[in-house]
Amino acid sequence: MHRSNQQASTATRYLQSLCQLLTSAEVPLAGLLAGTDIQPRLLEAPDGVVSHDSLDRLLQNVERLTDERFPGILLGHHLNISAHGAAGYAGLTAPNAGAAIGVAVRFFPLITELATLKLDVTEKRVRLTIIPAPGISGRTERFVVHTLLASFDVMGSFLVGNLELRAGLTFPNQAGLKARLGSTLQGIAFNQPSHSLSLPRERLEAPFALADRTAHAQAVAQCEEALNRLEGQRTLAGRVVGLLTRIGPPYPDQENVAAQLGMSTRTLHRHLLEDGVRYRTLILEARMNSARRYLLDERLGVTETAYRLGYRDSANFTRAFRQATGVTPTGFVKAGSSNARPAVPAHPRETDQPAPSSSPRNT
C-alpha cells in the first residue's frame, strides 16, 4: 500500500531554517520539536524529510510558544537559494521568469509533497495554482501557501525587480498578511475558489540577472536525477493515484495510464496486484481526492460535485463518499472549515461506481 497524504513529506532543511529563526532563550529548540518525532540531528540531514503530522505538530508548537502569526512568511523571506538545493540553483540561473516558474512547477515535489503546482497560460496572464494535498490540516496549508507567497515575493524582487504578482487565496481575510509582504505582490484577494499567483504574460520574458546557460543545465540535470529517485521510492499505486488526481475526471482507462507510465497494461495490472490493490480502487481514491478539492477548495455544492465526478445523483455520491471517508460530504465541509481538515483514507472502500448524468439537479 502506498502512504497516505498524512505522511506526505517535506524537506527538513526548511524546518531547520524555521527553527533557527524562532529559537531563542525563551523558545528553546526542544520546545519547538516537542511531540513531533523530529530529532535535532535529523534537521542537519541534507536529504532528510519529515511527515505532515510532524510538521503540523511543530506548527502547533510555534502557535503555542511564539507570537509569530505567519511562520510561512517569516520562513519564505529568509530562505536563500541554497535552501532549495539544486532546484534553487536551476531557478536562479534560468534565462527568464518563465523558465524559472517552469522549474518550480516541475521540481516542486523535491521541496514538499504537501502541495502541487499547476501552470495555466492565457493570452494576457499566467496563473500558477497551488493545490494542497488532500487531508493536510488547515494550519499546514496556510504555512505552505504563505511560504510560497513570501518566496516569490523575495525572488521576484531580487531577480527581476517587479513581477507584478497578484495572489488569490481561499482563506478568509487575514489581517496583517499584505503588510508582511513586499511591493512585488501587488494585491491579495481572499475567499477565492483556489490558491493562485498570477502575473502578466509578458513578464515571463523578464530576463534574470544571474542567467547562466551551463549552470542552469547542470542544475536541471541534478533535479531530474533527484526527481527520478523520488519517483522510484514511491509505490506504483501511489504514482497512479497522483497521476489520476492531476488529470481529474473523466479518468482515463488502465491502458491509457499504463502508456503514460511507460509500461504495458498487463505489467501495470500485475504490479498493482503485487501492491494489493486494483485499478478501480485507485480510481475511487482519485475521485475522493477530487471531491475534496471541489467541496473545500472550489466550494462547489454536493450536487455539482456529484455531477462533475460522474455520479447519477447526489444520493449515490453521498453514499460513496461516506463509505470512503466515514463522513458525509456536508460533514466533510464543516470539518474542513476548522484547522484540522478530515483526511481521505488511502484506498477507500469500493462502492457504487458512478455513471455519467446529463445534468445536476438543483438543491
- Summarize pLDDT for 310-349 with one digit per residue, the tens: 898 999 999 999 888 888 999 888 876 544 444 455 555 4
Contacts (Cβ under 8 Å, ≥6 apart) of 262: none
At the topology level, CATH places domain 234-336 in Arc Repressor Mutant, subunit A (1.10.10)
Q: For 73-104, how does the pLDDT look when each residue is reduced to its tens digit (9 = 90+)?
A: 999 999 877 678 888 899 889 999 889 889 99
CA-CA distance, 45 to 3, in Å (whole number)? 22
Confidence of residue 355 (pLDDT cuts 50, 70, 90): low
Q: How many CA atoms lie within 13 Å of 130's alpha carbon, on the beta-carbon side?
A: 25
Residue 42 has pLDDT above 80, yes or no: no
Confidence of residue 217 (pLDDT cuts 50, 70, 90): very high
**pLDDT for residue 259:** 83
Of 33-42, 225-234, 268-277, 285-294, the range with the lowest mean pLDDT is 225-234
Residue 28 has pLDDT above 90, yes or no: yes
Residue ranges, comma separated, of all CATH 1.10.10.60 domains in the chain are 234-336
**pLDDT for residue 82:** 67
Residue 7 has pLDDT above 80, yes or no: no
Contacts (Cβ under 8 Å, ≥6 apart) of 89: 81, 215, 219
* pTM of the complete model: 0.65
Before 250, cis peptide (omega within 30)?
A: yes
**pLDDT for residue 325:** 81
Residue 253 has pLDDT above 70, yes or no: yes
CA-CA distance, 129 to 127, in Å (whole number)? 6
CA-CA distance, 231 to 229, in Å (whole number)? 5
User: With the C-alpha atoms ordered 170, 171, 175, 177, is the resulting torsion angle positive or negative?
Assistant: negative
Residue 5 has pLDDT above 60, yes or no: no
Percentage above 90 pLDDT, the chain: 41
Read off the pLDDT of each residue in 160-175 and give the average, rounded to a whole number.
87
The position carrying cell 534560468 is 94
Whether residue 75 contacts residue 91, with contact meaning beta carbons closer than 8 Å, is answered with no
Q: For 258-274, how does the pLDDT look when each residue is reduced to its tens digit (9 = 90+)?
A: 887 778 899 999 888 88
Read off the pLDDT of each residue in 121-150 and give the average, rounded to a whole number.
91
* 282, three cell numbers: 485507485
